[in-house]
Every structure is written in structure tokens, then in C-alpha cells.
Amino acid sequence: MTVRVKVCGTTSVHDAVLSAQAGADALGFIFAPVSKRLVTPQVAREAGLNVGPVVARVGVFLGQGLDEVLRTAEAARVSAVQLHGPLPGLYVRQVAAYYPVLRVVRPADLAAEAGMWRDEPGVTLMLDAPEPGGGVPLDWAALRDVFPRGAWLAGGLGPANVAAAMQALNPAGVDAVSRLEASPGVKDPALVREFVRAARSS
Ligand SMILES: O=C(O)c1ccccc1N[C@@H]1O[C@H](COP(=O)(O)O)[C@@H](O)[C@H]1O
């Protein structure tokens, strides 16, 4: 199975084009106000118009109301939505009625969430560290026996460790932000290219 590669925390058209040219399958746009990588829906929309017809644009949310999520996703013209934080199942289903959902869970919540979304093709699980965007890798060895088939992996991934993470867990997709930056919200071109290359060749 070919791994999907998502480069998150895109805050400019320039960095969107850079990541797309590096070969990313998906770009993440963070709309959570707490983030150092906060982007406006207008910039995300403009970025999406500059990366061609194939690259997915994922709107990232943390602890925001349903109305805000749906309005922002529409304004930004994203193609998928990534949901962090504790959320009722009904909320996730309501978003999934409009957008494919990447449901982000911490290892502690994996068993419950995996059971909830096993038969819902519109919801894909992503495992991440408890502190999103913190650059801290998960304990891959501890997850080896429980990592769900088809799930994505995030948490402290970068050029130097993505191959080992893939070897340990065989995720369907990998996602990274802080280890690809020159400064918060600004991509380091070499790190982005090397991350995509390392994931592709693993
Ligand atoms: O990066 C952020 O600032 C952020 C804020 C709120 C929700 C999600 C955020 N980022 C997500 O964090 C993971 C991995 O980040 P890292 O590679 O460990 O720095 C990824 O899913 C981002 O989309």
C-alpha cells in the first residue's frame, strides 16, 4: 500500500506550492485559534487554487463548535476535515456528512474510538500525541499490536524518523508539522522535500 503524505501547518500560498511540488498528497491548514500556525480561510482557499486538482486540502480544528467548523471549511474550500480533541460521536458524524474526516485520537482513547469508527468509511483514524503540533513522537513499539489497519500516524514525525515509524506501524498515511519548519508556521523547504522523499521510499 502506498503511504499518503500530509504536510500540515500551511500558512501561505508559497508553502502550499512548495509542499505540493515536493510531492505531498495533502496539505493541512490549521484553523484552531490556539495554534502558532493559524491561517485564515481566505489564504487556505487561495493556496488550494494554486496546487492543482489532485492535492487534498485538510482543515484542522481543535475544540471548536460545529457551526464554526462547517462554515470555515466551506469558506476555505477544503476537501477534508481533521478533528482533534474530545468530541461526541454525533458531532464527528455531522461533520462527516459533509467532509471526509480524519479523527485524531491519543493512544489512551484508541480502543474506544477504533471501535466507534471501524465500519464508517467516511471517518479515518489518526493517532497523534496528546499535545498536537508539539513535535513529540509516540511510543511506536507500544502501539504495534493495537494500531488499526488503515489508520494514519502523526506526532513528532520528520525526515529522520518517518521511515522507522512506517516500519513499526505501517500507517496508511503520515502527517507532520513541527519538524518541517524553519520557524512556527514557516516551512523549511529542504525538510519538507526530505520528509516526503523518506516516506515515499520506505
Ligand atoms: O500544529 C498545531 O499547531 C496544531 C494545533 C491544533 C491542532 C493540531 C495541530 N497540529 C497537528 O499536530 C499533529 C502533529 O504535529 P507534530 O508533527 O507533532 O508537530 C498533526 O496532526 C498536525 O496536524
Share of the chain above pLDDT 70, in %: 100
Nearest-atom index, ligand 1, CA of 28: 23
Q: Is ipTM over 0.90? A: yes
Mean pLDDT taken over the chain: 97
Give 157-167 pLDDT, tens digit per residue.
Answer: 999 999 999 99
- Which domain does 132 fall in, by range? 4-200
Report d(CA 84, CA 82) in Å as an integer.
7
Report d(CA 192, CA 202) in Å as an integer.
16
Which pLDDT score is estimated for 1?
74
Number of domains in the chain: 1
Q: Ligand 1 in contact with 59 (CB < 6 A)?
A: no
Nearest-atom index, ligand 1, CA of 154: 14
Centre of ligand 1 to C-alpha 50, Å, is 23
Residue 38 contacts residue 66 (beta carbons within 8 Å): no
Which pLDDT score is estimated for 183?
97
* Region at 19 (left for phi over 0; alpha for psi -120 to 50; beta for the rest): alpha
Mean pLDDT over 80-108 rounds to 97
- CATH number at 161 reads 3.20.20.70
